[in-house]
Amino acid sequence: MTSNSSEQTTTIVIFGASGDLTRRKLIPSLCNLFCKGRLGPEVRIVGMARSNMTAQEFRDSLAQGLDASDNLGPDREEWTEFASRIHYCRGDVSSTGDLRGLEDALRSIESSGKPANRLYYLALAPSLYGPAVLNLGSTGMARETDCWRRVVIEKPFGSDLASAQELNKLVHSVFAEDQVFRIDHYLGKETVQNLLVFRFANTIFEPIWTRNYIDNVQITVFETEPVAGRAGYYDQAGVFRDMFQNHLLQLLTVVAMEPPSNFQADLLRNEKVKVLNAVRRITPASAAEIAIHAQYDGYLDEPGVPAGSRSPTYAAMRLDVDNWRWQGVPFYLRSGKALDEKRTEIVIQFRRPPHLMFPQDIGPNILAIQVQPDEGLHLEFQAKTPDGKMELRPVNLEFHYDDSFGGQAIPDAYERLLLDALNGDASLFTRSDEIEEAWEIMDPIIQGLAAPDAPLPSGYAIGSKGPEAADQFLAKDGRKWLHQYGRH
């Protein structure tokens, strides 16, 4: 069921309403959508958590979060109008009785006479996804009659292939796949979507987007924050589960996929699944040949990190995509915490000219897609320096969102994704088979590097560029990590 008729209203139910995600991302994004007139006149938000508070206390806590968020805040009048649509219902999502109570509350809130669609957002710890879904099923709250029912599930979706399969099975026992929106907020970022436009709406790039012209692809997601305060979750996950299985593999699929015949959710996702399916599988025994891992100095002293933990906070790996387009082109992925900069970037290094007629050795062409910060694209090529002899120097063609769109603010990824979920467009959400393929790639790497006989994680200083092992890892292939393509 996909329609949003004017005869219907919509309720967004947020489970985990007193949490960080709701306060920092969901409410600011919904509020922005409301201020832009995109939320529809009859959308209301109902939060649920175990904390005891009134609707007004809930709204007040959200208003504080809004002040602290990166989003452009609404003015007081807009906030007051938006806040009047926010309700709160205390309850434990793992209690069937509490969900029945929520259903009664929803019916009374929705008593305008018009049928109400519902978007259930699970902003909960992953251990509660299962109980929440089962209770939505057993109370009849997932059943579609004359209105749609959808569920948004946050990451992480499973902690390995087996748990992801189990969770998919459980979710499908209540919701059909087209009701399920598994979120990976990286796909909601403007630059990631722009990569699809760049590749498939321009004729000049696609012909060179192959092994014939591309030497290697590098995908980097760097964070500056250490694990502070999140060690309980983070130590269980480590960087592979936290970043690679979802965000980095999603970025890889967008770079490597074939063009779908149109921008329809399933066609797009079919192409992404084909890429993941073509990623060369390895065994745990060979994990150390394609990946390195490291831990920042002092990680073991973070409160909540178990003594002797080997959980990596940094990793780099090489993946190969075994198909015609990408045969022999390595995809290097790296991500880490507590580094010297926050940066997400995709760098395409092209092949060198087959023959050099100039006396000077020159670097290859490079295309860098800056996902954050300062979203944009850079194309590096060689130019002759003016005057004098034949001397070449790399120069940059640059596109920056900020410059090209008159400083128009780039919306938070959640804004786009929430709107898509409300409109029933799953293009930027992960399908069940996609999640499972991604775990199938990551499982042997995680297992192999955690094995007792695997190399221990190397160290790196907080605020550094990462471990030397990462540079040595690429040097083994005769390559270097390409430096940041900031504004020139």
Ligand X SMILES: NC(=O)c1ccc[n+]([C@@H]2O[C@H](COP(=O)([O-])OP(=O)(O)OC[C@H]3O[C@@H](n4cnc5c(N)ncnc54)[C@H](OP(=O)(O)O)[C@@H]3O)[C@@H](O)[C@H]2O)c1
Q: Is 247 a catalytic residue?
A: yes
Q: How many residues bind ligand X (CB under 6 A)?
A: 23
Could you tell me the CA-to-CA distances from 463 to 76, 215, 223, 298 in Å, in that order?
A: 39, 30, 10, 12
According to CB under 6 A, which one of 1, 21, 265, 379 is a site residue for ligand X?
A: 21
- Please, which residue, 380 or 420, has the CB nearer to ligand X? 420
Please list the residues that pair with 321 across neighbouring strands: 279
For the CB of residue 49, give the shortest distance to ligand X in the complex, in Å.
Answer: 4
- Please, which residue, 126 or 336, has the CB nearer to ligand X? 126
Closest CA to 400 of 190, 250, 214: 190
Q: What is the largest CA-CA distance in the chain?
A: 83
According to CB under 6 A, which one of 68, 72, 125, 475 is a site residue for ligand X?
A: 125
**Does 403 help bind ligand X (rule: CB under 6 A)?**
no
**Does 336 help bind ligand X (rule: CB under 6 A)?**
no
**Does 134 help bind ligand X (rule: CB under 6 A)?**
no
- Please, which residue, 50 or 211, has the CB nearer to ligand X? 50
Give residues 38-77 in contact with ligand X (rule: CB under 6 A): 48-51
For the CB of residue 21, give the shortest distance to ligand X in the complex, in Å.
Answer: 3
According to CB under 6 A, which one of 16, 260, 312, 330 is a site residue for ligand X?
A: 16
Distance (Å, rounded) from C-alpha 458 to C-alpha 373? 28
Please list the residues that pair with 119 across neighbouring strands: 12, 150
Structure tokens at 471: 């540079």
- Please, which residue, 49 or 227, has the CB nearer to ligand X? 49
- Please, which residue, 50 or 199, has the CB nearer to ligand X? 50
User: Do β-strands 366-372 and 343-350 pair in parallel, antiparallel, or remain unpaired?
Assistant: antiparallel
Angle at 160 between CA 329 and CA 308, to 5 degrees: 95
* DSSP, residue by residue, 239-274: HIIIIIIIIIHHHHHHHHPPPPSSS-HHHHHHHHHH
Catalytic annotation, pick one of 87, 247, 293, 378: 247
| Alpha-carbon torsion, ordered 415, 421, 425, 429, to 10 deg | 80
Q: Which stretch binds ligand X (CB under 6 A): 14-22, 64-72, 282-290, 363-371?
A: 14-22
Build a one-symbol-per-residue string for 139-158: x at contacts with ligand X by CB under 6 A, - elsewhere: ---------------xx---
- Please, which residue, 348 or 435, has the CB nearer to ligand X? 435
For the CB of residue 352, give the shortest distance to ligand X in the complex, in Å.
Answer: 40
Could you tell me the CA-to-CA distances from 413 to 183, 196, 344 in Å, in that order?
A: 10, 16, 14
Which residue is nearest to ligand X, using beta carbons?
19
For the CB of residue 93, give the shortest distance to ligand X in the complex, in Å.
Answer: 4
Which distant-in-sequence residues (6+ apart) come within 8 Å of 334 by Cβ? Answer: 218, 219, 220, 221, 222, 314, 315, 316, 317, 466, 470, 481
Give residue for tokens 């599930």.
153
Q: Which stretch binds ligand X (CB under 6 A): 16-24, 377-385, 443-451, 469-477?
A: 16-24
According to CB under 6 A, which one of 5, 7, 20, 360 is a site residue for ligand X?
A: 20
- Please, which residue, 231 or 474, has the CB nearer to ligand X? 231
Build a one-symbol-per-residue string for 83-122: x at contacts with ligand X by CB under 6 A, - elsewhere: ---------xxx----------------------------
According to CB under 6 A, which one of 30, 43, 89, 123 is a site residue for ligand X?
A: 123
Give residues 159-198 in contact with ligand X (rule: CB under 6 A): none
According to CB under 6 A, which one of 12, 13, 17, 291 is a site residue for ligand X?
A: 17
Q: Would you give the end-to-end CA distance of the chain in angstroms? A: 49
User: Do β-strands 149-153 and 180-182 pair in parallel, antiparallel, or remain unpaired?
Assistant: parallel
- Please, which residue, 234 or 326, has the CB nearer to ligand X? 234
**Does 124 help bind ligand X (rule: CB under 6 A)?**
yes
Which distant-in-sequence residues (6+ apart) come within 8 Å of 37 by Cβ? Answer: none
Please list the residues that pair with 330 across neighbouring strands: 320
Cis peptide before 207 (omega within 30 of 0): no
Q: Which stretch binds ligand X (CB under 6 A): 19-27, 187-195, 330-338, 469-477?
A: 19-27
Helix (H) or strand (E) holding 469: helix 468-475
Which distant-in-sequence residues (6+ apart) come within 8 Å of 68 by Cβ? Answer: 24
Q: Which stretch binds ligand X (CB under 6 A): 18-26, 210-218, 353-361, 424-432?
A: 18-26
Give residue for tokens 């001397």.
391
Q: Which stretch binds ligand X (CB under 6 A): 17-25, 35-43, 136-144, 420-428?
A: 17-25
Build a one-symbol-per-residue string for 438-467: x at contacts with ligand X by CB under 6 A, - elsewhere: ------------------------------
3 state DSSP class of 445: helix
Report CA Rg, the chain: 24
- Please, which residue, 156 or 444, has the CB nearer to ligand X? 156
Q: What is the set of active-site residues? A: 247
Task: Name the site residues for ligand X (rule: CB under 6 A).
Answer: 15-21, 24-25, 48-51, 92-94, 123-126, 128, 154-155
